[in-house]
Amino acid sequence: MADLSHGSADAPAHHQLTGIDNRKLGMWVFLSSEFLFFGALINNYLLFKGRDFGPGTLYPVELYDIPFTSISSFVLLMSSLTMVLAHSALARGDQDQTKTWLFATALLGTIFVSGQFFEFGEFILHGLKLNINPAASAFYMLTGFHGLHVVLGVLMLLVLAFKSMRTGGLSEAEGLNVELVGLYWHFVDIIWIVIFVLVYLIQ
C-alpha cells in the first residue's frame, strides 16, 4: 500500500522533524488524549452503575437490549472494514472504489447512530430520563458523547466522498485526509469495543 503520509512535490509542505507528517502525528496525539476523555466517562459510569439510588428508580441495565446492541456493534465493526478498504483503494489509485467505500462507511455509521437514537428513545419512553439518577446520566453522557464522535466522523466521511464525486477523485494530498479520518473512525470503533463489554455485557 502506498504511503499517503508523505506529500508529493506539488503538495503543501509539512514539517516532518520526526519523519512523520506533523498532521498525522497530531492526530495520533489527539487520539491518545481521547483515551483520557472517554476513560473519564467510562469511569463515571462504572462508579454509579452499581449504586442504590432508592426504591422505584430505574437503571439503564434493566432496559438493555443486548441482541439489538450486538447488531449495532457489528455494524460499527464492519464500518472499520469499509474504512480500511477505502484507504487501501485510494493507495492503489482506485478512485471509484475509494468513493464507494467512503459512502459505505458513512452509511454504516449513520445506521449505528440511528440505532443509538432508537435506543435512547426506547429508554426515555420507559421512563429512564437523563436526570432520573446519576447512573442514567452517566450512561447517556458516555454513549451520547460516543455517538457525537460517530456523527462527526460521518460528516468528515461525507465531505471526502462528495469532494471525490465532484472532482472526479481525491489527490495525493487529500489522501492523507482519508488516512486521518480513517484513524479517527477506527478509534471511535475501538472505544465502542470497550463500551460494549464494560457497559453492556459486564453487568
Binding site for another protein (CB under 8 A): 1-6, 18-20, 24-25, 28-29, 31-36, 38-40, 42-43, 46-47, 50, 66-67, 70, 73-74, 77-78, 80-81, 83-85, 88-89, 91, 182-183, 186-187, 189-190, 193-194, 196-198, 201-202
Of 86 and 136, nearer to another protein (C-beta) is 86
Cα→Cα distances 69→48, 64, 102, Å:
21, 8, 24
Q: How far apart are CA 149 and CA 171, in angstroms?
A: 26
Q: How far apart are CA 90 and CA 178, in angstroms?
A: 8
Q: How far apart are CA 173 and CA 128, in angstroms?
A: 47
Phi/psi at 105 (5° precision): -65, -45
CB of 152 to another protein, least distance (A): 18
Of 160 and 191, nearer to another protein (C-beta) is 191
CB of 22 to another protein, least distance (A): 12
CB of 66 to another protein, least distance (A): 6
Q: How far apart are CA 87 and CA 170, in angstroms?
A: 11
Amino acid at 38: F
Of 17 and 125, nearer to another protein (C-beta) is 17
Of 6 and 163, nearer to another protein (C-beta) is 6
